[in-house]
């Protein structure tokens, strides 16, 4: 989906997303741990934004973090943006899609080499394109 084809209002977003996708992507929700379809997925391909289809993560950067959410040690260049999140009495770094501004999850500094990052991402916020 091109940026000029993105929904221009929350009403339009509600029309094109499922209730759960809307809660996660547009209202910064979180799916229950170990509930997402991509937690244990090991296929080769690309993880894309469920809201706009933008490519976000390569399957080669996915790793088993044991946290209950899909985890990646790196994102595609310019695919995501970061914001300070002070919700729930914590200070975290939120990860959003650079194309549609959809909430994806959070990034932490406890991941593996080569980046040391752990992108902790909601499965509901993702789609998957097989290679």
pLDDT in tens, 46-62: 999 999 999 999 999 99
Question: Nearest-CA neighbor of 112 among 60, 55, 76?
Answer: 60
pLDDT computed for residue 47 by the predictor: 98
Strand partners, 83: 94
How far, in Å, CA of 22 to CA of 125, rounded?
A: 9
- What is the fold, at CATH topology level, of the domain defined by 3-130? 2.170.150
**Computed over its alpha carbons, how large is the radius of gyration of the chain?**
14
Average pLDDT, the chain: 95
pLDDT computed for residue 68 by the predictor: 97
Strand partners, 95: 82, 105
Selecting among 49, 52, 100, 120, the annotated active-site residue is 120
| Residue ranges covered by each domain of the chain | 3-130
pLDDT computed for residue 5 by the predictor: 85
Q: How many CB atoms lie within 10 A of CB 81?
A: 14
Q: How confident is the model at residue 131 (pLDDT cuts 50, 70, 90)?
A: confident
User: Is residue 2 pLDDT above 60, yes or no?
Assistant: no
120 belongs to the catalytic site:
yes
């Amino acid at each position: 989906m091109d940026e000029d084809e993105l929904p221009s209002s929350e009403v339009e977003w509600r029309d094109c997303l499922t209730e759960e996708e809307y809660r996660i992507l547009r209202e910064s929700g979180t799916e229950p741990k170990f509930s997402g379809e991509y937690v244990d997925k090991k296929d080769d391909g690309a993880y894309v934004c469920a809201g706009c289809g933008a490519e976000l993560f390569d399957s080669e950067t996915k790793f088993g973090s044991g946290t209950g959410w899909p985890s990646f040690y790196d994102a595609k260049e310019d695919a995501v943006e970061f914001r300070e999140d002070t919700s729930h009495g914590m200070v975290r770094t939120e990860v959003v899609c650079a194309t549609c501004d959809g909430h994806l999850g959070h990034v932490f500094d406890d991941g593996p080499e080569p980046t040391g990052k752990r992108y902790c991402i909601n499965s509901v916020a993702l789609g998957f394109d097989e290679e």
